[in-house]
């Protein structure tokens, strides 16, 4: 489900111009997928429509920020390739340093470069990024 329309991106958010309308539609779909992923699919299906208006507005802005991130970075392929620069190890002469990141840490570093910092900042205020356990008492 797309959380914004091309009209919203162009006229309400006033994002950077996409190369084409086809690219813009593709970026919107990919950005909506990223929003679903980082929110642990809490908005998937008809759950988005049941959210308070302020949450809908913030999610729309976050989606538009992710679209603009794609536009600025020249497409989803460039972003999804894992542009986040992470040096696993460096050697200079006899000196060697290893960052020690491995396993899931390496994936989280790569994934961090796929998500717009502006989108994450917006979503952080909604509670949708919460990964803990909800307790009822």
96 found inside a domain: no
pLDDT of residue 73: 87
Q: Is 88 among the domain residues?
A: no
The answer to whether residue 100 is domain-embedded is: no
**What is the per-residue pLDDT for 109?**
43
How far apart are alpha carbons 95 and 46 in whole angstroms? 56
Return the pLDDT at 80.
58
Residue 53 lies in a domain: yes
Residue 34 maps to a domain? yes
Report the number of distinct structural domains present in the chain: 1
Asked whether residue 28 is assigned to any structural domain, the reply reads yes
Ranges of H-type helices in the chain:
6-7, 21-38, 53-72, 76-80, 104-112, 117-124
| Residue 63 placed within a domain | yes
Task: Write out the residue range of the structural domain in which residue 126 sits.
Answer: 1-77+115-130
Residue with tokens 């796929």: 114
Residue 54 tokens read as 């302020």
β-pair type (95-98, 89-92): antiparallel
Q: For residues 101 and 114, what is the distance between their CA atoms, to the nearest angstrom?
A: 18
Q: What is the pLDDT of residue 136?
A: 79
8 Å CB contact between 65 and 116:
yes
Q: Which tokens sit at 58?
A: 């913030």
The sign of the torsion formed by the CA atoms of 108, 109, 113, 116 equals positive
**From the first residue on, what is the mean pLDDT of each consecutive set of 10 residues in the chain (137 residues)?**
96 95 95 94 91 96 96 71 52 66 46 84 92 77
Residue 108 lies in a domain: no
Task: Show the CA angle centred on residue 50, arms to residues 58 and 121, nearest 5°.
Answer: 20
């Amino acid at each position: 489900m797309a959380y914004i329309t091309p009209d919203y991106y162009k006229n309400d958010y006033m994002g950077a111009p996409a190369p084409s309308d086809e690219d813009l539609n593709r970026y919107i779909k990919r950005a909506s997928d990223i929003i679903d992923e980082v929110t642990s699919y809490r908005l998937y299906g008809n759950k988005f429509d049941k959210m308070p208006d302020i949450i809908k507005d913030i999610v729309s802005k976050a989606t538009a920020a992710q679209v603009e991130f794609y536009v600025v970075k020249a497409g989803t392929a460039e972003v999804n390739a894992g542009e986040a620069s992470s040096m696993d190890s460096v050697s200079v002469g006899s000196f060697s340093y290893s960052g020690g990141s491995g396993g899931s840490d390496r994936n989280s570093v790569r994934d961090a470069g796929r998500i717009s910092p502006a989108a994450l900042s917006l979503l952080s205020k909604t509670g949708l990024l919460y990964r803990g356990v909800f307790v009822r008492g």
